[in-house]
Amino acid sequence: MTKKDVSLYNPSSLIGYETENIIPEGGFGAVLARAGVGKTAFLVQIATSALLRGKNVLHISLDNPVNKVSLWYKEVFNNLVKQCKTDRLWESILPHRFIMTFKVGGFSVPKLEERLTDLTAQNIFSPDMVVIDGLPFDESTRESLPDLKALAKKHSMHIWFAIRIHRHEQQNTDNMPVPFSKVADLFDVAIQLKPEGKEIHVRTLKGSGKTVEHPALLLDPSTMMIKNS
């Protein structure tokens, strides 16, 4: 089997979307969960699917070093290859991935734009998709989202965020955590990972997939891969 065969694995279709492009250029997506539930694993699966389709993915980590983030991708890829029963294609997708780290206090939209300009001006890397993992979603972050959306549109890319929520956080009438609901209008897609007993359920809070009939989804606790319940 080939790279094309592996790319048939599409997390967005499992979630309930008809195409792999869940988010438009300039759009935002969010994966919400408590600490340690699987936000990074979930986003790495979406990113790996994009890599297999030849898309360029910039993964920004504010929590972990490059080698740890790279290990996440390698583990997801190996699980995917095992499921598809095909040869390893790891080396073929690496040129499409770029991992960038920031200290939490050192991240800002202007600094990100500066780094992006350095990469694109020298034809080093031009991302189609950006993953931002580990950014505290406090008031200052929420205030910077419009500027970040403008940056995404300028570079014709879309951005996924891993957003930490808390166990007893109040929810609004749409079952969205209240702190996130204040900025939900800026997001095209919002997905929550919710532990129930020994299972982690995948629930779409916002996005077209929410209205499509599809099987309930879980994260496999042994591999953290998305699966049907």
Between CA 219 and CA 223 the distance in angstroms is 8
| 8 A C-beta contact, residue 204 and residue 23 | no
Strand boundaries in 17-114, DSSP class E: 28-33, 57-61, 97-101
**pTM of structure:** 0.87
Please tell me the total count of domains within the chain.
1
Q: How confident is the model at residue 9 (pLDDT cuts 50, 70, 90)?
A: low
| 8 A C-beta contact, residue 38 and residue 80 | no
HSE-up of residue 213 (Cα within 13 Å, Cβ side): 0
pLDDT for 15 equals 58
- Which residue range forms the structural domain that includes residue 209? 3-228
HSE-up of residue 73 (Cα within 13 Å, Cβ side): 24
* Tokens standing for residue 30: 């969010």
pLDDT per residue as tens digits for the range 65-93: 999 999 999 988 888 777 555 556 788 88
pLDDT per residue as tens digits for the range 181-214: 888 999 999 999 988 888 898 888 888 654 445 5
Mean pLDDT of 106-114: 94
Q: 34: domain CATH number?
A: 3.40.50.300
- Residue 187: strand, helix, or coil: coil
pLDDT for 22 equals 76
102 vs 226, residue with greater confidence: 102
pLDDT per residue as tens digits for the range 122-169: 999 999 999 999 998 888 888 999 999 999 999 999 999 999 988 777
